[in-house]
């Protein structure tokens, strides 16, 4: 449901409720954005998630961004504003999921650090090459803090933080897999009746 202070005339499920007031003067364009989102939902709900890697998922989200641009064809500023709001909220959600990843080995620490940078810089409106983009942000070394480590790892690194070298190829493969898991979660929320609700 729309918040009480937002007219149902300008309600658009794709835009987070707390951002809707920014677009209240664009009723006709928001109807077009809503229609484009609904069309996207229909086309995407028939597509399987099985075997959908990070590139496929990003392409599906980028199609939504393109559809927003088409829906606001005569109002480029509005299209970019809607794309920015949606992208910012997708990025925030992705970073929140990444922030919850457990770091119990140096490999996991490297993956988490890689994904944090990857999603922070990710442009949902652009075509990307996941392997190249992820490889480009893999750290050479990661810090391990003994206070946050448990078991054998904590004993191995001692009582002080230290930098540990990262295996870039294994980190790439693990990061690509984990990034697809993150994207599946935010993609599934986009397909839901309440894309910006708590989860």
Predicted structure pTM score = 0.84
CB-based contact 3:11 (threshold 8 Å): no
Distance CA 110, CA 56 (A): 24
Please name the helix (run of DSSP H) or strand (run of DSSP E) that holds residue 142, with its range, or none. strand 141-144
Section 92-111 average pLDDT: 93
Terminal C-alpha separation, the chain: 17
Extents of the domains making up the chain: 8-190
Alpha helices in 46-167 (DSSP H): 54-71, 76-99, 106-121, 130-135, 151-157
| pLDDT on residue 48 | 92
Give the lowest-confidence range in 65-79, 147-161, 178-192: 147-161
Q: Is 11 exposed, middle or buried (0-12, 13-18, 19+ CB in 10 A)?
A: middle
| pLDDT on residue 70 | 95
Please name the helix (run of DSSP H) or strand (run of DSSP E) that holds residue 162, with its range, or none. strand 162-165
| pLDDT on residue 199 | 55
Band of residue 156 on the pLDDT scale cut at 50, 70, 90 = very low
């Amino acid at each position: 449901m729309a918040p009480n202070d937002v007219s149902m005339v300008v309600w658009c499920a794709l835009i987070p409720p707390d951002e809707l007031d920014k677009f209240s003067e664009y009723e006709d364009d928001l109807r077009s954005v809503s229609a484009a989102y609904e069309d996207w939902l229909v086309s995407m709900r028939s597509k399987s998630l099985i075997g959908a890697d990070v590139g496929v998922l990003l392409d599906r989200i980028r199609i939504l961004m393109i559809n927003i641009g088409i829906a606001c064809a005569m109002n480029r500023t509005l299209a970019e504003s809607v794309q920015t709001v949606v992208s910012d909220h997708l990025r925030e959600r992705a970073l929140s999921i990444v922030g919850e990843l457990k770091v119990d080995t140096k490999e996991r620490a490297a993956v988490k650090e890689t994904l944090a940078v990857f999603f922070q810089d990710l442009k949902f409106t652009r075509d990307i090459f996941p392997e190249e983009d992820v490889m480009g942000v893999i750290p050479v070394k990661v810090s391990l803090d003994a206070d946050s480590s448990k078991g054998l790892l904590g004993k191995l690194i001692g009582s002080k933080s230290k930098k540990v070298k990262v295996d870039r190829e294994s980190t790439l493969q693990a990061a690509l897999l984990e990034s697809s898991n993150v994207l599946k979660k935010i993609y599934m929320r986009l397909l839901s009746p309440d894309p910006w609700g708590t989860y």
